[in-house]
Structure 1
Amino acid sequence: MSSKLAKQALVRPSHLPETPVPSIPEVDASKPDLASVQYSAYRTGLSNHRTGLSEHRTQLSEFRTDLSTHRTDLSTERTEMSMRRTGMSFQRTRMSADRTLMSVIRTSLSLISFGFTIYQVFEKLKEAGTLVHAAAPRNFGITLVLLGILMLIVGIIYHVLFMVGLREERNAMREAGVIHGQSRYPVSFTLITAVILLLIGLVAIASMIFNIGPFNDPGPG
């Protein structure tokens, strides 16, 4: 559409040269036939003058029509661009939600790994006989892991609810013809990563509390 508009030439009609109105002829009243011919020629001149003015008004009207059509085409193109920008804004919002979930993953991973490390360090010190009581640091490590798991669960639930609402809003606007929505939402690898990390955290907390699972050290013999 833009190339078509670029090729379209809108040329304003040139100004109509100022032509004086034919003057009223001076007739001889004693010669009615000659006066009638002179008045007829005068009326013909007036008619030609009005015809020229009418043609110029027609050209101006056509030019205004062309301008109106040109403005309508530009408005349609701007509306099209606005619809596409709005459609792309949904994609940007989706990526922003993924980044938010990534922040939750980083924080949860720090809590889970730090809590599990504290738990393992003090358990090893207790097994080595360096410490007699390690319940407090053990409980602290378990608390950190539980906090990381809880934060991850809340982040996943919030992300899923937000994405469902965003999809519904996008589909409603697309069905109403307000936006273009040809592009699909790809699979959220951030959500998959969050679910995998949640499973790892659950296995880690089970190993810490019940001494079962792949992260449990059975010790010698």
Structure 2
Amino acid sequence: MADDKAWVDPGADFDRVSVELSSRRTGMSFQRTRMSAERTLMSVIRTSLSLIGFGFTIFQVFQKLHDMQVVKSSMAARRFGEALVLIGIAMLVSGIVYHCTFMAGLRAERKMLKSQGLIHAESQFPPSLTLAVALLLLLLGFLAISSMVFDIGPFGS
């Protein structure tokens, strides 16, 4: 009669390797998803920067033309420029909120998979440089709109 301890399942090594590879692929998919979220935030930053920049430029051009008395009233252009800046700020705020919410959900999903033993370690996502740039642009947008609306700061008339 054969010894039960001597019997080895030939598929055990294959199963262990398969689970290991699956776990690593899942971990890498989290990294790809994180990078995709960063790219999405960069797209929001580009669009917001364009809106804020165009709005501020339109405002300043017509303000200078009004100061040189080339145009009698610059209120329509002024309101249009302010509207563009406000839309850029609103878009940036919504992009930042979406990014932070998405990243929190991604971290929670990763933590749950780790607790179930489906992935090995909970790798720390590095600090988001893209989020830092978005926050700085948001500050710049607030400075621009306050300068436009209240005529204060270095850009006021």
Q: Match of 1:148, as an amino acid?
A: G
| 1:128 matched to 2:106 | no
Query: Which of 153, 157, 165 is equivalent to 2:105?
Result: 165
State whether structure 2 residue 119 is matched by structure 1 residue 179. yes
- Correspondences of 1:1-221 after superposition (within 5 Å): 65=7, 68-69=9-10, 71-217=11-157
**Per-residue deviation at 1:175?**
1.3
Aligned mates of 1:163, 1:78 — CA distance in 2? 28
Q: Could you list the per-position Cα deviations for residues 105-126 of structure 1 after superposition, in whole angstroms to 9, with x for gaps in the alignment? A: 0000000000000000000000
CA distance in 2, matches of 1:199, 1:214: 15
TM-score normalised by L of structure 2: 0.93
* TM-superposition CA deviations, 1:80-118 (whole Å, max 9, x none): 010011011111111100100000000000000000000
Q: Extract unaligned runs of 5+ from structure 2.
A: none
Q: 1:163-187: CA deviations, max 9, x gaps?
A: 1111011111111111123421000
Distance 1:170 1:184 in 2: 10
Higher RCO (C-alpha under 8 Å, 6+ residues apart): 2
Task: Give the number of aligned pairs.
Answer: 154
What is the CA–CA distance in structure 1 between the aligned matches of 2:71 and 2:15, rounded to whole Å? 78
What is the distance in 1 between the residues matched to 2:16 and 2:111?
22
Measured on the aligned residues, the alpha-carbon RMSD in Å equals: 1.5
Larger Rg: 1
Question: Using the alignment, how far apart are the partners of 2:47 and 2:59 within structure 1?
Answer: 18
Question: Residues of 2 paired with 1:158 and 1:204: CA distance?
Answer: 23
Deviations 1:139-174 (A, max 9, x none): 100000000000000000011111111101111111
Q: In the TM superposition, what whole-angstrom CA distance separates every residue of 1:35-94 from its partner, at most 9, and x where no partner exists? A: xxxxxxxxxxxxxxxxxxx9xxx7xxx8xx55x33x210111011010011011111111
Contact 2:23 2:119 in 1 (8 A): yes
CA distance in 2, matches of 1:176, 1:88: 17
Rounded to whole Å, the distance in 1 between the matches of 2:103 and 2:81 is 33
Unaligned runs of 5+ in 1: 1-53
Asked if structure 2 preserves the Cα contact closer than 8 Å seen for 1:170 and 1:181, the reply is no
